[in-house]
Structure 1
């Protein structure tokens, strides 16, 4: 199936198996093993037309992760955090419904923890 990057920049997809692929804004045919992760990172199937959605609609990955982290803080459950005080990626992924990379989580965590 062919996917394209949602922005003007290439979208890099890496799996825990070590497999990687790059999805260009023009669109690339990618192996089926990448489909789920590509969609979770915002890749758009090439068959989808480029109609502009009204402002403020759609999926905001960063906001979903930040909301999940805030909920983790509010719950007060110590098992949702690692020994160094960062969110446990397994628990965070369970709350968001998609896999979150450590680098992505750390960047958002810096913002969320600064607010509280």
Structure 2
């Protein structure tokens, strides 16, 4: 599948496995291996020739927060002790592996606050 950057700047993708890829902003795009596609799409990469709505952010078919929320709920339902740190927060390494793309602690904590409050109701 060929993808291109959604902006005039190249899109740099780094996976938890250590693999990296740069998707250029040119009109032709580049062939993106399957292992990078989920992260690329979550960052807004588009198919060459696709019109980009400047007011939209990311890929409308992929909602990053929903993917993270779903993975956190799966971790809660799974009951694996190593899915969480000693202080009860989600283990980022386990979450990144589950998602297939990297998330920041701040991004996860914001969603975790919503998910964990809903879990206590």
Structure 2 length-normalised TM: 0.60
Structure 2 segments unaligned to the other structure (5+ residues)? 13-20, 24-35, 54-59
Which stretches of structure 1, 4 residues or longer, exceed 6 Å deviation after superposition? Answer: none
Pick 1 or 2: higher relative contact order, CA cutoff 8 A, min separation 6. Answer: 2
* Deviations 1:56-96, CA, capped at 9 Å, x for gaps: x6111111110110110111111000111110011111111
Cα distance, 1:45 vs structure 2? 6.0
Partner residue in 1 for 2:51: 49
Query: Where in structure 2 are the equivalents of 1:27-106 lying within 5 Å?
Result: 27-30=7-10, 33-35=21-23, 39-44=41-46, 47-50=49-52, 58-106=61-109
CA-atom RMSD in angstroms = 2.6
TM-score normalised over the length of structure 1? 0.62
